[in-house]
Amino acid sequence: FIELLLGLRRPSSGTIYINQTPIHTVILDHFYLNCVSYLIQDSEIMFNTVEKNIKYAIETNDENKYNYLVNEFNLESLTKIDEFNPNTLSGGQKQRIKLARAFYKNSDLLILDEPSTALDYKGIQTLKKIISEAKRNRIIIIVTHDSEIQSLADQNIFSFK
C-alpha cells in the first residue's frame, strides 16, 4: 500500500491521485522532497550530530520546532555529543531521532511505518502527543500493530486482528 501511495509501484488497475492529479504524472522527486515525510522501519542514523540527523535534507531552519522536538523526544543529552556513532545508540534513541526528523519537516503528508517500535512507555506517550498535535495540519498515515497508536486514527483503513 505504501509503495503504491509513494509511486514506487504502479497499481495493477486504477489510478492513484494526489490533489486530483494522477501520481504517475507528478514529478516525484519534487513531491517527496517538499510534500512527504516518511518514517520507514529500516531508516538509518548518520555518523553525525542529532541536529544534522533531524534536519537532514530539509531546507527550512526552524530552531523553535527543532528545540521542541528535541525536548519532547528526550534527546537533550545526545545533543551534547559532537558526533556520535549510531551503533552506540539504543533502538529507542534511534527511533526518537528518526521520529523527530519526520515531524521536523513541514510536509503535507506524513507516513509512519511502525512508529512506536523500540519506544518505552514514555516514548509512546510522547509520540501520541506529537501525532495528536500534527494531525491538525496534515494528513498522517500510520502503519502499526500498536493499539495505542491505532486509537489516534480518525479513520482505520485496514485493521487486522
Which residues of the chain fall short of a pLDDT of 70?
Answer: 158-161
pLDDT one-digit tens code per residue, 2-41: 888 777 788 899 988 877 888 778 777 777 777 889 898 8
For residues 104 and 98, give the distance between their C-alpha atoms in angstroms, rounded to a whole number: 10
For residues 105 and 140, give the distance between their C-alpha atoms in angstroms, rounded to a whole number: 13
| Cα atoms in the Cβ-side hemisphere of radius 13 Å centred on 147 | 2
pTM: 0.87
Q: What is the pLDDT of residue 6?
A: 75
The H or E element containing residue 35 is helix 28-35
Q: What is the pLDDT of residue 62?
A: 95
For residues 38 and 113, give the distance between their C-alpha atoms in angstroms, rounded to a whole number: 8
Q: What is the pLDDT of residue 159?
A: 60
Q: What is the pLDDT of residue 160?
A: 60
The H or E element containing residue 95 is helix 91-104
Q: What is the pLDDT of residue 52?
A: 94
